[in-house]
Amino acid sequence: MNEHVKSKENIRSHHQNEYNSVLAILTNAQKDLQASQQEAAALETSLKAKQQEIKTHQEKISNYLSKMQTLQEEKKLTQIEDVNFFSVYQSIKNLQVTIKETCTDKYSEYESVQKAFKMVYERLAEYGNSLTDEQLNLLGDQQKALELELKNYTPAITFDF
């Protein structure tokens, strides 16, 4: 019977060793599983942080692009305003030149007419005795009307170019 008990004891010891070995494997597997779960949780937290960081960078990029677009639109508007200002400035300068030329032409006409009247008066003085009073009065009225009209053409404005 000793043998039988020994055999049973060996079997039980062998089963106990197998049980302990399987229990150790399961315990290690459970520890590995817990470590993997903790690592997965840490990776998930890290992933969420990276996603938030990416979202923040995307918002910054979006804001930057929006600001760039606004600046480009403002630059276009400024360029348009510059072109419009230059165009208006050129129009004003051209108009000033035209006005100056017109005034100069009218003043030249005035001087020519004034010289013509002077010549007419000189001749009238020579031939004045042969004109009737009515003709002299008519010429005097015409002279006053023309002088008044010519005074309107005299340039009263000086231009600095």
For residue 161, the model assigns a pLDDT of 44
Six-digit token pair at 59? 């918002």
Q: How far apart are CA 52 and CA 50, in angstroms?
A: 5
pLDDT digits (tens, 9 = 90+) for 80-97: 666 677 777 888 888 888
**Start-to-end CA span in the chain (Å):** 138
Where is 29: in which H helix or E strand? helix 2-127
Q: Is the Cβ–Cβ distance between 96 and 157 less than 8 Å? A: no
Question: Which two structure tokens, joined as six digits, stand for 53?
Answer: 């960081």
User: Alpha-carbon Rg of the chain, whole angstroms?
Assistant: 57
| Ranges of residues in the chain whose predicted pLDDT is under 50 | 159, 161
**Calpha distance 113→72 (Å, rounded):** 60
Give per-residue burial for 62-74: e unless 16+ CB within 10 Å, then b.
eeeeeeeeeeeee
pTM for this model (two decimals): 0.38
Domain boundaries, the chain: 1-152
Of 152, 150, 157, nearest in space to 109 by CA: 150
Q: What is the pLDDT of residue 61?
A: 83
Residues comprising the chain, all counted: 161
pLDDT at residue 131, rounded to an integer: 66
- How much is the pLDDT for 75? 76
pLDDT of residue 93: 84
